[in-house]
Amino acid sequence: MKQLLLFLMLTTFLSQIAFSQQKIWDETEEEKTERLQWWTEARFGMFIHWGLYAQAARHEWVKKRERISDEDYQKYFELFNPDLFNPTEWAKKAKAAGMKYAVITSKHHEGFCMFGSDYTDYNIMNTPYGKDIIKEWVEAFRAEGLGIGFYYSLIDWHHPEYTIDRVHPQSAGTQEEYDKLNEGRDMAVYREYLKNQVREILTKYGKIDILWLDYSFPGQFGKGRDDWGSVELIKMVRELQPDILVNDRLDLKDYWGGWDFTTPEQFKVQSWPEVDGKKIPWETCQTFSGSWGYYRDEHTWKDNKQLLVLLIESVSKGGNVLLNVGPTARGTFDHRADEALAGMGEWMKFNSRSIYGCTQAPEEFEAPDHTLLTYNPESNRLYIHLLDYPITNFRLPGYKGKVKYAQFLHDASEINITAPYGHHMQGSIATENDLNLRLPVNKPNVAIPVIEVFLK
């Protein structure tokens, strides 16, 4: 008995040590929730992938996909001159679409820096453009009241000390080949460079709201936390910008404080993501078409309804959407992006109340057929998004006694709560716990109409 007790005490003690070692900083769960609150309420942001690859106009991975050498890629550096760049215009478009924050690539995998850097010449100041794009962008977006975020690529296909790995343009096959390629390359030097640059972007532009580091791929010929020096790096980030939100691609999933939100990319989650049975903050990042960087000849653009459903469905599962624009090398948004943003903005103008500050509906509310529910815990209102417009009778299953009032959100017009209307209705109307709404026959002139339900 005594031995068992001793054993238990010892294991608890050891697990506590293990736990405390896994901690990046001291912050309670409540404090974290508070730190993330503005972002959780915002729900919708703009991702911007912009770099030299905009000139190739065939994916931001073009250097890897076509295994382009540094010499051959150099022309993009020598030509880059986005003469039509007007960040205020971009910010206004983001806002009009209903976005509340934005994240821009300060450096993508190609290694080129859109900011003036003391640690490499491979930066915007040495292109024909010659001005600090990140500085101009931050000022404009901040002036429009948008949250500011930097994407920074951990991966670097230009730095001479960065060791060749399986996603590098010069990737190889066998260990021997990698050893040979990496002779004389020293990842420790790159690690230092990476840290210096992250310090640069987090100190030169004032308060930064989000840091988006991309990405880890541990395993054979891959890279993870030790290659990046992730623990050191995140500690520095937290010190420099204590309020900042950091994504989860540093390979520090098992560290408290090592990440703030998870980042499902290019797919819709089945349900609110969890860790150890707890729901965690999440943001899906998505493109309008199949590429992040500007891709002239790519035509798989999602339509307005798909984009709206993506946003609504994400909020209905407690998440955010970061929707990407890949500006052209002249510095403008492609007309297809403009149209997509305008379409979303038109809907958001009248319906954003079902998005901002909203989350997954309480379990007691079942979603009626062909709908998505969101819920605002502050106002205690439920939002029913009609993906497929019904005919007249609209059954709210199990809602009896829970509803005060119902209206369309876009025009605040009352929707009557009535007995089901029709003839020979046997078998069509459900239990006595249901409520029936009487909808107008004609679908309102809104891509996805929303019913705002005032709950008791």
Give the nearer residue to ligand GLC in terms of CB position, either 327 or 444: 327
What does the binding site for ligand GLC look like in residue numbers (CB under 6 A)? 49, 60-61, 214-215, 265, 285, 292
* Block residue for tokens 């019913």: 451
Give the nearer residue to ligand GLC in terms of CB position, either 61 or 255: 61
Give the nearer residue to ligand GLC in terms of CB position, either 249 or 395: 249
Give the nearer residue to ligand GLC in terms of CB position, either 326 or 444: 326
Quote the least distance from Cβ 342 to ligand GLC, whole Å. Answer: 24
Quote the least distance from Cβ 104 to ligand GLC, whole Å. Answer: 11
Structure tokens at 84: 């039509």
Give the nearer residue to ligand GLC in terms of CB position, either 64 or 100: 64
Structure tokens at 387: 């993906």
Give the nearer residue to ligand GLC in terms of CB position, either 48 or 233: 48
Quote the least distance from Cβ 183 to ligand GLC, whole Å. Answer: 27
Quote the least distance from Cβ 139 to ligand GLC, whole Å. Answer: 24
Quote the least distance from Cβ 455 to ligand GLC, whole Å. Answer: 37
Give the nearer residue to ligand GLC in terms of CB position, either 244 or 439: 244
Give the nearer residue to ligand GLC in terms of CB position, either 90 or 215: 215
Give the nearer residue to ligand GLC in terms of CB position, either 77 or 292: 292
Quote the least distance from Cβ 13 to ligand GLC, whole Å. Answer: 40
Quote the least distance from Cβ 368 to ligand GLC, whole Å. Answer: 34
Give the nearer residue to ligand GLC in terms of CB position, either 49 or 353: 49
Quote the least distance from Cβ 73 to ligand GLC, whole Å. Answer: 16
Q: Note if the bond before 215 is cis, omega within 30 degrees.
A: yes
Give the nearer residue to ligand GLC in terms of CB position, either 61 or 80: 61
Q: How far is CA 428 from CA 110, 395, 421, 423, 436, in A?
A: 60, 10, 11, 10, 12
Quote the least distance from Cβ 413 to ligand GLC, whole Å. Answer: 40
Q: Decide: 374 and 312 in contact? Cβ < 8 Å.
A: yes
Quote the least distance from Cβ 292 to ligand GLC, whole Å. Answer: 5
Quote the least distance from Cβ 215 to ligand GLC, whole Å. Answer: 5
Evaluated on CA atoms 106, 111, 117, 119, the torsion sign reads positive
Could you write out the three-class secondary structure of the chain? Answer: CHHHHHHHHHHHHHHHHHHHHCECCCCCHHHHHHHCHHHHHHCEEEEECCCCHHHHCECCCHHHHCCCCHHHHHHHHHHCCCCCCCHHHHHHHHHHHCCCEEEEEEECCCCCECCCCCCCCCEHHHCCCCCCHHHHHHHHHHHCCCEEEEEEECCCCCCCCCCCCCCCCCCCCCHHHHHHHCCCCCHHHHHHHHHHHHHHHHHCCCCCCEEEEECCECCCCCECHHHHCHHHHHHHHHHHCCCCEECCCCCCCCCECCCCCECCECCCCCCCCEECCEECCEEEEEECCCCCCCECCCCCCCCHHHHHHHHHHHHHCCCEEEEEECCCCCCCCCHHHHHHHHHHHHHHHHHHHHCCCCECCCCCCCCCCCEEEEEECCCCEEEEEECCCCCCEEEECCCCCCEEEEEECCCCCECEECCCCCCCCCCCCCCCCCEEEECCCCCCCCCCCEEEEEEC
